[in-house]
Structure 1
Amino acid sequence: MRDEVESQFKPRAMGKGPLLMMRSFLPFVARFWSRHPTKLGQLHEYWQGYRDRYREIAYLTGQPVECVKEICYELECQEPHFQELNGLKGVPMHHMLGYVTVRLMQPEVVVETGVAEGFSSWFILLALQQNRHGILYSIDLPNQDVELFPGGPRQTEILPDGKQTGFIVPKNLRSRWQLHLGDAKELLPRLLQTLNKIDIFIHDSWHSYDHMMLEFQIAWPYLRKDGVLLSDDVDLHTALPDFAAKVGCPCVLFNFRPRSKAVGGMRKTAGPFNDANCH
């Protein structure tokens, strides 16, 4: 059965695209088969999301599909840090999307909200290091007692004892990083006023509808033409599509796992998502 499943996705020719698939998707197929032998039908949905991500990222960044594949290959097949973080098995897809977007967009200024241990920052900084230019400005709350939802459970000490925000980010990547600790509602407007223009904004902090809308509304005017806004956990509610409709700019929702579009993005002034906009 395992050979039959893997044969559905086995490439016919050995280029970087097929190698990328073999190095990243086929190991996932093997893990999925061993863990969920009765749910093999879902692999087609995963495959659809995996295959479509190239066109979706091309649309989001305005870059050719082949360039997207090159950067995905660079990360998933060649980058030792990616292997150190256990590849697709242990890395959330929005961190990978952040890396690929930064590599393709070649930004000077990236702003993110939400750091925690620093996985997303690590990937962004790794991409900036590869670009050899650009600065990441991150905003996050220090460890504290946080109410997850109104009237709901509380999350305390979100980082391990003795660890600071962004503790996993390697020292050799920190020269391009400025970390600001505090409430994004206060720090984000001040930071953006200082920076004046930004190339990429990434939301991964408090995921309530109101807070996500607030951050989008604060960041959008400072985003340059053709700049990119990314957001994690967009499947929790309709904040991103509602904001996209408000500013008249289409958004793309990435289907990285079946029946869930947890990561989304917008490119300022981008046209409708179709094959004509994906070179």
Structure 2
Amino acid sequence: MIWTIVERFYRTHHLYASQYEAYESKVAEYVEKLQTPRDRIRLPADELSRLLQFKQLERIRDRFLLPLKDACHALFRRDHSTDVLDRLVNDIFHEISILKEEHYNVLTYAVNPESRVDREEQKSILDEVHEMFPIKVHRLRHLFDLARNRMERILSKHKSDAVLVRSLFLNRSAFVAKADPAGLIYFYRWMYGSDRPFEGYRVAADSFFDAGFFGQAAECYAEGEEFVRAFPASEKRRWDSSWKSCRDHLKRRVRESRAQQAEFARDD
């Protein structure tokens, strides 16, 4: 369950961040082009509709936010209480639904040439959307920031969850790389502390090894060993003293994993 929450949240966050950045870039272009403060800009319906992508908003809500909301309810919600993350995700779902509906109104009633809406009503719709878009877009960003802060604090509570730790490693080149410039290490720092990020590699690799996935174990041990080796010596002084024993463990287990993998290959 926690894996579903982590995976869906960070994918959703990245997708919305892309929408937000594109929106801000387009608005900045209009400010420059029209030489008008952003809160006074009024665009034609077709241009207003292009500030956001309706299909992408729909995809974010239905494919990512909905299962995230359900997973948060299942894990956190009790009769009289829930986690802050559950409330924030619920608010995000509600706000993005409103934003999607406002965008739909522009597409349906203002842009569509077959619409029977008269000019006065069309103007009313556009005025409402011009006011609503920036409010909702920026509120959603704020809610995502709050949710991310809460998510980061939840991660440490699940540092012993083998499925989560292994899955993060397996997705290190996918959504994990997009979640933060530090990639996988961002997650391992929040889970094990900034003084023990190497621990994530050990936990993940040991779990692979114990489950008999020697190829993945060898890969994880090797990457962990390389991470420790390449980390600047001056920065290692801030690490927990257990880093040396962890390094030796990773190094030894690389050999053991490869030996097991080779033995299985011979048996095949």
TM-score range (shorter-chain normalised) is: under 0.3
Give the number of the structure whose residues are more often helix, by fraction: 2
TM-score for the superposition, normalised by structure 2? 0.25
Q: Which of structures 1 and 2 has the larger relative contact order (alpha carbons within 8 angstroms, sep 6+)?
A: 1
Give the number of the structure whose residues are more often strand, by fraction: 1
TM-score for the superposition, normalised by structure 1? 0.25
Query: Which protein shows a greater Rg?
Result: 2
